[in-house]
Amino acid sequence: MGNEVKRVETPLTEEVIKTLRIGDEVLLSGIIYTARDMAHAQLQEMINNGDELPFNASGSVIYYVGPSPAPVGRVIGSAGPTTSYRMDPFVPAMFEAGMRGMIGKGPRSSKVKDLIVKKCGVYFGATGGAAALLSESIVEAEVIAFEKFGPEALRKLKVNNMPLIVINDCYGGDLYLEGIDKYSEEI
């Protein structure tokens, strides 16, 4: 588990993903997309029907968030992560579509962790409770699909130095499990 902060840009490439290890602090910049339960269900249906997605999923990063409305002078309101396991059923299809990264909070299922290894992906943790701070790294926000879902609409975000931690890496590492083990050894 490294100490050096890594600067990473989207879209994610296999080469970059392979440099990331659990515990790495990352400053993510570039374009990411927001999707929660309803948007994922719609995307899953589009994939199943062979329809074109409303964004280029190749190398994409999906942030599990339903931001609050933007206050005056801001591009977005508070934008803290939602619990990721609710999106686990949609991960296989999203990986097939080209997604390579996910941002959220909380542990993932064994199936998702296996797919992260198989598909050379990465799961980043965003600090829950720091929604206002996280929103400061979002410099542009635009609803691109499913506007009827309100906060759960699909958004395209431009982020600059969004602070994240690598929770699951493409080598099968799991910060939640290994962090507990390391802590247990220390006490």
CATH number for the domain spanning 113: value is: 3.20.130.10
> Is 40 a catalytic site residue?
yes
- The type of residue at 138 is I
Coil/strand/helix, residue 12: coil
Closest C-alpha among 57, 42, 32 to residue 124: 32
Question: Of the residues 36, 40, 100, 113, which is catalytic?
Answer: 40
Whole-angstrom Cα distance, residue 78 to residue 95?
27
Give the range of the structural domain holding residue 129, as residue numbers without chain letter.
Answer: 5-186
Whole-angstrom Cα distance, residue 6 to residue 145?
31
Whole-angstrom Cα distance, residue 154 to residue 40?
9
Q: Which residues pair with 155 in a beta bridge?
A: 34, 143
Instruction: Report CA torsion sign: 71, 74, 75, 76.
Output: negative
Note the residue count of the chain.
187
What is the pLDDT at residue 7?
Answer: 97
Digitized pLDDT (tens) for each residue of the chain, 187 residues in all: 446 899 999 999 999 999 999 999 999 999 999 999 999 999 999 999 999 999 999 999 999 998 888 889 899 988 889 999 999 999 999 999 999 999 999 999 999 999 999 999 999 999 876 777 788 899 999 999 999 999 899 999 999 999 999 999 999 999 999 876 665 555 5
Number of domains in the chain: 1
